[in-house]
Chains A and B, each alone.
Chain A
C-alpha cells in the first residue's frame, strides 16, 4: 500500500493521525480557503454582509445569489466553499430558527443559531460514513443583544468577530479590517468598508465579477438586499481607482 507524506490518514474518514490531526477536516478548510470571498462587518447601526460572485456566462440569471442567504427575518449568512454544503447548513439554520420561535415565542439570537450550525458541522467530523462540510459560514444579524457576527467552520469551531472574511481573498480583507475597522462606524461607512475590502482582495476584476451586499440595519432588524443601483455609485470609484493603481 502506497503511503504518502500523510500516511493513509488522509483517506480514511476523520481518523486521528498519530500527530493528533484530522486531515479530512483540514482538507475541508482548504476547500473553504479556495472558495470565493465572503465578508461581514458589524457596527452599532447594524451589520453588512458582502460577497463576490462570478458569472460564468451571460446566460446565467444575475439576480440569483448562491452565496448570501436569509436565515430569519433578522439573520443572514454568507458562505464560502462548496455551495451545496452551505445550502444544507443554511436550511438547518432556517428550520432551527423557526423551531426556536415556536418553542420560546421570541426572536432567536444570532449566537444560538450560529452555535447550532457549529454543532451540526462538528457531528460530521466524528461520525462514520460521512465527510466534513466543505463550507464555512459567516452568520450575522441584529438581535436583542445588538449587532453580532459569528464564523462557523467545518471543524465545528464557532467564533465571534466584529468584522471577518472567508474564502480566497480573506487575508487581504482581514488586513484592511485590522487597519480601518471602527466600532463607531455608521452603517453607510460599514458598507463602504465592506466594498473597499472586497475590491482590494481581488487580483483581477473581469467581466463576470459581481458584488452582492445585504444590510441588516439595527433600526429595522430586517434582512435587506441592497440593489445594484445603490451599490454602483460606491463601487464605481473603487473599481476605477483599482484599475489606475494596477496591482495593489
Chain B
C-alpha cells in the first residue's frame, strides 16, 4: 500500500468501535464497546478494548486488534523495564512518547490502531490520543473509532474539567451507549475502566454497571 493511495488508507483505517477517555477529578475514566467486527461480520461480542499497561496507566484500542495487542505487549515490557531501572513510575507523557515512536518508526508499514493512553503520574491525570502514523495530541476528553462522532456529541456538551469521578463514569458510559445505538460498528456491551489517584487501575464490575445499562441503554447485555 503506497502512502498516496488514499482510498486504500481510508478503507484500512475504518474501524468498528467506540472508545472514550476523559479526565475527571483525580482520575481518568475510560469506556468502550465490546463488539469486534470483520467487515459486516461480528467476530466477537465480548472483545476487550481497554487494558492496563501498568498500575497507573491504561490504554484503549480501536482498529486492527492484532496490531494493537502487539503494541500493548511492547509498551508493557518497556514500562516494566523503566519502573525497575529507575524505581519510579513512568510518566504518562513518556508512555505516549514511546507509543508515538513505535508507531512513527513503522509509518510506512503502520500499526493500524487508534489509541487512547491515560493515567495518573506526579503531574496528575493525563490523557493522550495517537493515530496510526504516530501523531500525539493531549486531551481532556476524546473518543476514537467509528462511533466517535456520536460519542463526542454526548461528551462535549456535558463535560467540565472538574467533573467528579462518578459523573465521569456516567458520562463515559452514556457516550458509548449513544454510539452503540447509532453506529452499526459498535455494540453488544460496555466496559468501563479507570485509573484513580492512590488506587490505580480498575474496572467496573457487572453489578456496578447494571444501573448504568438500565439508565442509558434500556437493556442488559447478553
Residues from chain A with a CB closer than 8 A to the CB of B80 are: 72-73, 98, 101
Q: Which chain A residue has the least Cβ–Cβ distance from B79?
A: A98
Residues from chain B with a CB closer than 8 A to the CB of A71 are: 84
Residues from chain B with a CB closer than 8 A to the CB of A105 are: 73
Q: Does A95 contact B (CB under 8 A)?
A: yes
Pairwise interchain contact B84-A70, C-beta atoms closer than 8 A: yes
Q: Does more than half of chain B's interface fall in helix, strand or loop, or is it mixed?
A: helix
Q: Which of B73, B76, B85 is close to A94, meaning CB atoms less than 8 Å apart?
A: B85
Q: Does B77 contact A (CB under 8 A)?
A: yes
Residues from chain B with a CB closer than 8 A to the CB of A73 are: 80, 84
Pairwise interchain contact B87-A94, C-beta atoms closer than 8 A: no
Q: Does A5 contact B (CB under 8 A)?
A: no
Determine how close the nearest CB of chain A comes to the CB of B47; give it in whole angstroms. Answer: 18
Q: Which chain A residue has the least Cβ–Cβ distance from B70?
A: A102
Please report the number of residue pairs spanning A and B whose Cβ atoms sit closer than 8 angstroms: 25
Determine how close the nearest CB of chain A comes to the CB of B3; give it in whole angstroms. Answer: 30
Q: Does A210 contact B (CB under 8 A)?
A: no
Interface residues of A in 39-81 (CB under 8 A from B): 70-73
Q: Does B74 contact A (CB under 8 A)?
A: yes
Q: Which chain B residue has the least Cβ–Cβ distance from A225?
A: B87
Determine how close the nearest CB of chain A comes to the CB of B74; give it in whole angstroms. Answer: 7
Residues from chain A with a CB closer than 8 A to the CB of B9 are: none
Pairwise interchain contact A102-B77, C-beta atoms closer than 8 A: yes
Q: Which chain A residue has the least Cβ–Cβ distance from B73?
A: A102
Residue interface bits B53-77, CB-to-A below 8 A is 1, else 0? 0000000000000000000011011
A72-B83 Cα distance, complex, nearest whole Å: 9
A225-B85 Cα distance, complex, nearest whole Å: 15
A126-B80 Cα distance, complex, nearest whole Å: 33
Residue interface bits A180-220, CB-to-B below 8 A is 1, else 0? 00000000000000000000000000000000000000000
**Of listed A71, A73, A98, A101, residue having the most chain B CB within 10 A:** A98
Q: Does A84 contact B (CB under 8 A)?
A: no
Residues from chain A with a CB closer than 8 A to the CB of B84 are: 70-73, 94
Pairwise interchain contact A101-B85, C-beta atoms closer than 8 A: no
Interface residues of A in 91-115 (CB under 8 A from B): 91, 94-95, 98-99, 101-102, 105
Q: Which of A70, A91, A101 is close to B77, meaning CB atoms less than 8 Å apart?
A: A101
A201-B115 Cα distance, complex, nearest whole Å: 55
Pairwise interchain contact A102-B81, C-beta atoms closer than 8 A: no
Residues from chain B with a CB closer than 8 A to the CB of A70 are: 84, 87
Residues from chain A with a CB closer than 8 A to the CB of B73 are: 102, 105
**Of listed A70, A72, A91, A102, residue having the most chain B CB within 10 A:** A102
Residues from chain A with a CB closer than 8 A to the CB of B81 are: 94-95, 98
Residues from chain B with a CB closer than 8 A to the CB of A95 are: 81
Residues from chain B with a CB closer than 8 A to the CB of A94 are: 81, 84-85
A71-B77 Cα distance, complex, nearest whole Å: 13
Determine how close the nearest CB of chain B comes to the CB of A202; give it in whole angstroms. Answer: 28
Could you list 20 further interchain pairs (A-B, Cβ under 8 angstroms) beyond the known A73-B84, A98-B78, A102-B76? Answer: A70-B84, A70-B87, A71-B84, A72-B80, A72-B84, A73-B80, A91-B85, A94-B81, A94-B84, A94-B85, A95-B81, A98-B77, A98-B80, A98-B81, A99-B77, A101-B80, A102-B73, A102-B74, A102-B77, A105-B73
User: Which chain B residues have a beta carbon within 8 Å of chain A's beta carbons?
Assistant: 73-74, 76-78, 80-81, 84-85, 87
19 contacts between A and B (CB under 8 A): A70-B84, A71-B84, A72-B84, A73-B84, A91-B85, A94-B81, A94-B84, A95-B81, A98-B77, A98-B78, A98-B80, A98-B81, A99-B77, A101-B76, A101-B80, A102-B73, A102-B76, A102-B77, A105-B73
User: Which chain A residues have a beta carbon within 8 Å of chain B's beta carbons?
Assistant: 70-73, 91, 94-95, 98-99, 101-102, 105
